[in-house]
Structure 1
Amino acid sequence: MGAAVELDAGGRAVRLSNPDKVYFPAKGYTKRDVAEYFLAVGPGITRALNHRPTTLQRFVDGVEGDFFYQKRAPKNLPDWIPTARIAFPSGRPADELCPTELAAVIWAANLGTLTFHPWPVRAGDTDHPDELRIDLDPQPGTDYADAVAAAHELRSVLEDHGVRGWPKTSGGRGMHVFVPIEPAWTFTEVRRAAIAAGRELERRMPERVTTAWWKEERGERIFVDFNQTARDRTIASAYSVRPFPHAPVSAPLRWEEIDDAEPRDFDIVTMPGRYAELGDVHADMDQEAFRLDGLLELADRDEKERGLGDMPYPPEYPKMPGEPKRVQPSRARHDDGDDGGTA
């Protein structure tokens, strides 16, 4: 698979073993192709990961093999790559890799990492997110165009409540909108703000958007996945490579681009040219930090005026205060019938 090579990553030499190992058989792209891609977008992906505890999604045998999520820092982590201690919902702690330079990205790529999943926090304060991340997830029967329509209206929802979002492709059919925020709120509060934004978007586009946690209730609509803001849930970073045969990437976009963009056009071959021409179109995110007061006031109104409280957490989470039962509606109706109740 070829002798190991050394790559210059921001002035630091990083060893790349088996550089000719094929990671994307349909295209013939190799480990070195992936590493060269990350070098080409280096400042962009470094910004997206900078000082963030990061889970590595590793594909040691390429996208057609098995993969796993490396949450704890590998034991062979070089001493020049820092870690940050985070706490899972169970309360158990872990030390995660915390990239601060491009060389850490290339080192992780050598381990088969294609997708980086950074927490929405910085190493200095891992209990208070500094990003609100909203995942617009197309359900069966919907596609990227539907996600774009939802994203435009979401932009208005956010701006109506005092914040600004930056859009990117998910690398598949969906879209992500990231909002830089002051690290003044807990994960629970940030999730509450995401739920409020999702519900307002759903009210504005009831036929096209849903916040229904249970799949049986979503229909052919864009799902606002509010639980991606729960502790230990992460979203692929900007510039991450996604594990599909054509090697797409999660592409940061400007709002005026999203209608004409085609997610398949952004991959490890095409993105370097775009980056060389435009640079990191999300670079200005680091210059902003919004407050969530407006969205949290909306959440208060939802609760007081509409009777809308919390939503279910993911199944592996401990029961949370104020959370409704984690029982899918059809099962709940069945159980009520068995007990003689009414549906």
Structure 2
Amino acid sequence: MAASKDAVVLEVDGHEVRVSNPEKPYFAERGIRKIDVVEYFISVGPGILFALKDRPTTLERWPGGVFEGARISTRVDNTGDAFYQKRVPKNAPEWVQTAHITFPSGRTADEVAPDSVAVVAWCANLGTLTFHPWPVSKADVESPNQIRIDLDPQPGTDFADAVWVAPHVRELLHEFGMEGWPKTSGGRGVHIYVPIQPRWTFQEVRGAVIAFGRELERRLPDRVTMSWWKEERGEKIFIDYNQMARDRTIASAYSIRPKPHAPVSAPLDWDELGDVSPFDFDVLSMPKRFAEVGDKHASLADHAFDITPLLELRERQAKDEGLGDLPYPPDYPKMPGEPPRVQPSKKVAGNWDDDGNPVTT
């Protein structure tokens, strides 16, 4: 490692990674500096690389660190202290690989597609705390090879409620000949990853998740909801099916979440899930755990499940119960077969035709 007053140069995977302003506070309450963040990602290198390898990845950048009042820019307000970067940053080293992807709008971009821990460290120097990989490989960006089930606690529920639902998710997956790998979200939620064969489109995989979530909701109506509209969810765990829509991603395993205690998203064994708290895993504690137990998600690479049974379930739900599609995120173009994209309390039946399009006069 070469060092100067203003920078540190690290040798990572045969590449030199320059870390500027290494002493800059990133999580001041924990005494965590920028160099500590970079070295954290290197310490869990095989795990974070497995989560990101060759996947188009959006970078959630906090170049000023995490501090009280810091906020992230949005589509409506771009004046935040942090931002999402979908396109590869300018002046990236030639060894930073990319993947060419198409957004729902039809616009395209080249996103970072990490193929080494050096790329992860380079992104961390740019202030990247959270990595948001697509569920595809750059070899085939149109066919997801993972299902990601997001157990999202709603107001009145918390991590313990998501943990309660998670084994039921696993039981239902087993009924369809599948297995899942859980992790903490780094917040109040639980994520469950299911490796699948890359044979289906985003629309088909999203439809499979909708069918799965509806069946889980049918079995656990007091604990699980599939309602897109917050006003209808109640105190339940929302299965966020739109995380499987194109260009929707969740924080990768080992990503750091922008909260004062510097939590990280932690892969777990199923028998650990009921005995942990999200506060157990952070930038300071995860390197020791990783050194002791390795990557609890590594065995995903040994499996690729068939989602045909879930697609057949979706067909039965449509035929027997008349269940069609569910709303897409608000920034998506209107999708074929999608119901009206208006919250129920504001919907007036006479203002919408049978296809869910607004009636104009």
Q: Fold-level match, TM-score > 0.5?
A: yes
Aligned to 1:26: 29
Query: C-alpha distance in 1, partners of 2:138/2:351?
Result: 50
Query: C-alpha distance in 2, partners of 1:178/1:310?
Result: 23
Alignment of 1:1-343 (within 5 A): 2-64=5-67, 65=70, 66-332=81-347, 335-336=348-349
On the 8 A contact 1:198/1:226 being kept in 2, the answer is yes
Query: C-alpha distance in 2, partners of 1:288/1:174?
Result: 24
Residues 62, 122 of structure 1: alpha-carbon distance in 2 compared, 3 angstrom cutoff: same
Give the aligned residue type for 1:226: Y
TM-score normalised by length of structure 2: 0.91
String of CA shifts for 1:207-233, please: whole Å, max 9, x gaps: 011000000000000000000000000
SS in 2 for 1:135: strand
Q: Provide the identity percentage.
A: 62
Query: C-alpha distance in 2, partners of 1:45/1:338?
Result: 49
Query: C-alpha distance in 2, partners of 1:43/1:338?
Result: 54
- Between Structure 1 and Structure 2, how many residues are aligned? 337
Query: C-alpha distance in 1, partners of 2:241/2:218?
Result: 15
Query: C-alpha distance in 2, partners of 1:67/1:214?
Result: 27
Give the Å deviation of 1:81. Answer: 1.0
Residues 150, 18 of structure 1: alpha-carbon distance in 2 compared, 3 angstrom cutoff: same
Query: C-alpha distance in 2, partners of 1:295/1:191?
Result: 11
Give the Å deviation of 1:11. Answer: 3.0
Residues 109, 191 of structure 1: alpha-carbon distance in 2 compared, 3 angstrom cutoff: same
SS in 2 for 1:277: helix
On the 8 A contact 1:2/1:20 being kept in 2, the answer is no
Deviates more, 1:293-302 or 1:47-56: 293-302
Give the Å deviation of 1:243. Answer: 0.5
Query: C-alpha distance in 1, partners of 2:158/2:221?
Result: 17
SS in 2 for 1:16: strand
Query: C-alpha distance in 2, partners of 1:20/1:295?
Result: 50
Across the aligned residues of Structure 1 and Structure 2, the Cα RMSD in angstroms comes to: 1.3
What residue ranges of structure 2 are gaps of 5+ in the alignment? 71-80, 353-361
String of CA shifts for 1:141-169, please: whole Å, max 9, x gaps: 10111001111101111111121110000
String of CA shifts for 1:64-100, please: whole Å, max 9, x gaps: 2311000011111110011110000011110001100
Query: C-alpha distance in 2, partners of 1:203/1:48?
Result: 32
Deviates more, 1:9-18 or 1:260-269: 9-18
Give the Å deviation of 1:12. Answer: 2.2
SS in 2 for 1:114: strand
TM-score normalised by length of structure 1: 0.96
Give the Å deviation of 1:2. Answer: 4.4
SS in 2 for 1:133: strand
On the 8 A contact 1:132/1:180 being kept in 2, the answer is yes
Give the aligned residue type for 1:331: K
On the 8 A contact 1:53/1:84 being kept in 2, the answer is yes
SS in 2 for 1:55: strand
Query: C-alpha distance in 2, partners of 1:117/1:103?
Result: 17
Dislocated runs of 4+, deviation >6 Å:
none
